[in-house]
């Protein structure tokens, strides 16, 4: 039967993946605070609740560590729970269950048991939601052996990645950026599976590689269109999965373009961005035409003030400025000829600007 393709929202693609996974396997169920609510967490769980009822889509008291333990125990008994935590900030309360239990079972049992559970959590910039509700801990979870970390960027890959995550035998941290729920895209109606650990090349280019994921993949495409008018041809790679990440595609692209910019909506220091830059520098140092560069958030708590938010977060304008800097770099002198005005903003007398990483 022909697989119809239709234009739907990011949130609707999540809803489709959940319903279809539950149709495929009766062991799949959804649990979490508010999953049976009329709003259905941006509408993503409402269709599943209406179709399967409270036995397979149910609210559970908000005790993060406890409900995660319930999901772990259930997965070890043969089910495939989808646990919804409305905010990834409060996954910190679940770390013992995720890190010491879910991530370790397959290894500690010599492969005899596995923990096939998916934890959905929302990340990203809020509306003045400040320090405790706007964080993204993807880098932290990516450091835990035994966990897979997935960060979709568009309606098509959120459906394929979620289906693959639910039917993967490893515990998966599935992080959804709240600004993506209203994005539209063409998505196959039937179930399909996007391979975990495989990146997607959103745009081919010859002059610069941008590696991004989640919302930053869409911002990278916008910036690429802008600089294309100045004859800078950018290749955009969407990692999709950051643990494991597609080293082969990234290295192959950078070897071709000889320039790299990594975009990360997490904190600057000790992040996924640093891991990618380290791998590229280890493998391709002598082939680069400019310093490898990263854009990430400052190493400070997220501000609440709208005025400070505008300074704290970066988008296509800062990405365009960073691209231009890489092409203004003089390899002979080792200096950049100009810097964008916005990137000269500082947060204190001692600190240098933290919108982008050191060269």
Catalytic residues: 133
Cα(81)–Cα(292) distance, rounded to whole angstroms?
Answer: 40
200-203 and 208-212 strand pairing: unpaired
Phi first, then psi: what are they for 354, rounded to 5°? -115, 15
Helices (H), the chain: 10-24, 40-43, 46-52, 64-76, 95, 105-108, 138-142, 155-166, 215-228, 247-257, 272-284, 306-312, 316-327
What is the Cα 119 distance to its own chain's centre? 13
Q: Give the pair of three-digit tokens for residue 46.
A: 């409402």
Number of H helices, E strands in the chain: 13, 16
DSSP 80-115: EEEEEES-GGGGGGGHIIIIIIITTHHHHTTTS---
Taking phi first (over 0 means left), then psi (-120 to 50 degrees means alpha), and beta for anything else, what does residue 124 get?
A: left
CA-nearest of 342, 317, 252, 330 to 291 is: 330
């Amino acid at each position: 039967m022909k697989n119809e393709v239709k234009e739907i929202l990011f949130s609707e693609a999540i809803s489709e993946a959940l319903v279809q996974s539950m149709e495929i396997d009766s062991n799949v169920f959804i649990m979490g605070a508010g999953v049976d609510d009329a709003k259905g967490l941006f509408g993503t769980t409402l269709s599943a609740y209406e179709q399967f009822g409270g036995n397979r889509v149910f609210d559970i008291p908000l005790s993060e560590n406890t409900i995660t333990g319930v999901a772990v125990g259930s997965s070890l008994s043969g089910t495939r729970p989808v646990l919804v935590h409305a905010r990834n900030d409060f996954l910190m309360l679940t770390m013992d269950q995720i890190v010491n239990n879910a991530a370790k079972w397959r290894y500690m049992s010599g492969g005899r048991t596995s923990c096939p559970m998916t934890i959905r959590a929302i990340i990203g910039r809020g509306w003045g939601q400040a320090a405790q509700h706007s964080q993204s801990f993807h880098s932290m979870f990516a450091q835990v052996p035994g966990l897979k970390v997935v960060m979709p960027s568009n309606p098509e890959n959120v459906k394929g990645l979620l289906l693959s995550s639910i039917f993967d035998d490893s515990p998966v941290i599935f992080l959804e950026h709240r600004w993506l729920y209203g994005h539209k895209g063409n998505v196959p109606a039937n179930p399909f599976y996007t391979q975990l650990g495989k990146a997607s090349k959103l745009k081919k280019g010859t002059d610069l590689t941008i590696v991004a994921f989640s919302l930053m993949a869409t911002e990278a495409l916008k910036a690429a269109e802008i600089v294309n008018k100045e004859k800078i041809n950018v290749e955009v790679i969407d990692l999709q999965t950051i643990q494991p990440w597609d080293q082969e595609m990234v290295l192959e692209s950078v070897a071709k373009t000889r320039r790299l910019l990594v975009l990360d909506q997490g904190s600057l220091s000790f992040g996924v961005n640093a891991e990618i830059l380290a791998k590229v520098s280890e493998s391709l140092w002598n082939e680069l035409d400019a310093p490898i560069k990263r854009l990430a958030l400052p190493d400070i708590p997220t501000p609440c003030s709208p005025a400070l938010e505008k300074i704290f977060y970066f988008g296509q304008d800062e990405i365009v400025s960073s691209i231009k800097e890489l092409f203004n770099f003089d390899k002979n002198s080792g200096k950049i000829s100009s810097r964008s005005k916005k990137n000269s903003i500082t947060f204190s007398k001692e600190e240098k600007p933290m919108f982008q990483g050191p060269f």
